[in-house]
């Protein structure tokens, strides 16, 4: 019975307009996530603001995309 319900839901969902399918997909994926940890979200907000302030003050050490890509490839390959 559950398989039949799933088949019907899938069929009907696929007939929705793209934006509504995307909204449905987003809500379904969100339903699989653990509840949000507000302490973690607050900590990330503070960290983002701190980093933006460093950029604005000119104290942040920035790298270009090519350097970033090189570093990430080296890290992924274990170098």
Q: What is the pTM of this model?
A: 0.48
Q: Phi then psi for 9, rounded to 5 degrees?
A: -60, -45
**Cα–Cα distance, 46 to 44 (Å, whole number):** 5
37 contacts 46 by C-beta, under 8 angstroms: no
Counting residues of the chain whose pLDDT is more than 70, the rounded percentage is 97
In whole angstroms, how far apart are CA 53 and each of 37, 45, 65?
25, 12, 21
Long-range contacts of 31-35 (CB under 8 A, 24+ apart): none
Please count the other Cβ atoms lying within 10 Å of the Cβ belonging to residue 13: 13
14 contacts 21 by C-beta, under 8 angstroms: yes
Residue 36 confidence (pLDDT): 79
Q: Tens digit of pLDDT for each residue in 18-46?
A: 999 999 999 999 899 888 788 998 999 99
């Amino acid at each position: 019975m559950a398989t039949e319900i799933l088949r019907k839901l899938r069929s009907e969902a696929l007939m929705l307009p793209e934006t509504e399918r995307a909204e449905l997909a987003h809500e379904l994926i969100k339903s699989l996530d653990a509840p949000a940890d507000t302490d973690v979200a607050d900590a990330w907000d503070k960290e983002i603001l701190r980093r933006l302030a460093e950029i604005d003050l000119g104290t942040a050490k920035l790298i270009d995309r090519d350097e970033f890509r090189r570093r990430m490839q080296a890290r992924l390959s274990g170098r």
